[in-house]
Amino acid sequence: MHIMEGFLDPLWCAVWFIIAIPFVALGAKKIIELVREHPEQKMTVALAGAFIFLLSSLKLPSVTGSSSHPTGTGFSAALYGVSVTAFLATIVLIFQALLLAHGGLTTLGANISSMGIIGPFFGVLVWKAMMKGGVSMPISLGITALIADWMTYVVTAFQMTLNHGQSIEAFVNFLSNYALTQIPLSVVECILFYMFGIYLMRNKPEIFDIAGEIAAKAAAKEA
């Protein structure tokens, strides 16, 4: 979900920018390292970014000051984690704000935090848990997309609550209003990624093996 230009106070715009910037910077660093060490991943990274752009551009009107849409972040979150997804989402959000009047520049930090960081973070947790639990990859990918989408909408409701009302009642109202459009959209996104997961298992199963190796090496370096 996108918060539109002018619907957040300057204080909250600044807070969300401060939260988002470190993740975006780390994501840029990781993508540079990724394409340098694994040039064969360039097309897959581009595909992950394309999913975010195409799906998040399919917006529907929602609560005043925001819009509802799929996020498309599940694939990137599953393969590359939160920071890379944050960087890809940032590129998409800037493009949409400048050329499509979708979102905004002052609310960019808030939209990155919800769609590019916190939503994907929960998606990654679900992906790892389902992989460890032996759940099939297509189902895991679909559920990852679903949770990333749902948590994006929950965080957007929280952001709007902080700016307009700061009460449990306001939060529930935002959640309820967003649910009318966001829940059906997230279910459609879940089905889409489930079908895409089936395609990958049949035609490109090595994509997730390679991504897993990259993630393991990154974790080893951090340790």
Tokens 């929960």 correspond to 122
Q: Is the pLDDT of residue 223 over 70?
A: no
How is the chain split into domains, by residue range? 2-213
CA 174/CA 206 separation, integer angstroms: 41
Residue-wise pLDDT tens digits, 135-175: 999 999 999 999 999 999 899 999 989 988 788 998 998 88
Residue 51 pLDDT > 60, yes or no?
Answer: yes
176-to-47, 81, 139, 149, 162 alpha-carbon distances in Å = 33, 29, 27, 15, 16
User: pTM, whole model, 2 decimals?
Assistant: 0.89
Q: Taking each helix axis from N to C terminus, what angle separates 82-99 and 10-37, rounded to the nearest 10 degrees?
A: 120
Name the 3-class secondary structure at 60: strand
CB atoms within 10 A of CB 81: 24
* Cβ atoms of 24 and 67 closer than 8 Å: no
For 102-124, give the DSSP string.
-S-STTHHHHIIIIIIIHHHHHH
DSSP label at 67? Answer: E
User: How high is the pLDDT of residue 221?
Assistant: 55
**What CATH number does the domain located at 2-213 have?**
1.10.1760.20
Report pLDDT digits (tens) over 71-126.
Answer: 999 999 999 999 999 999 999 999 988 888 777 899 999 999 999 999 999 999 99
Give the three-state DSSP class for 82. Answer: helix
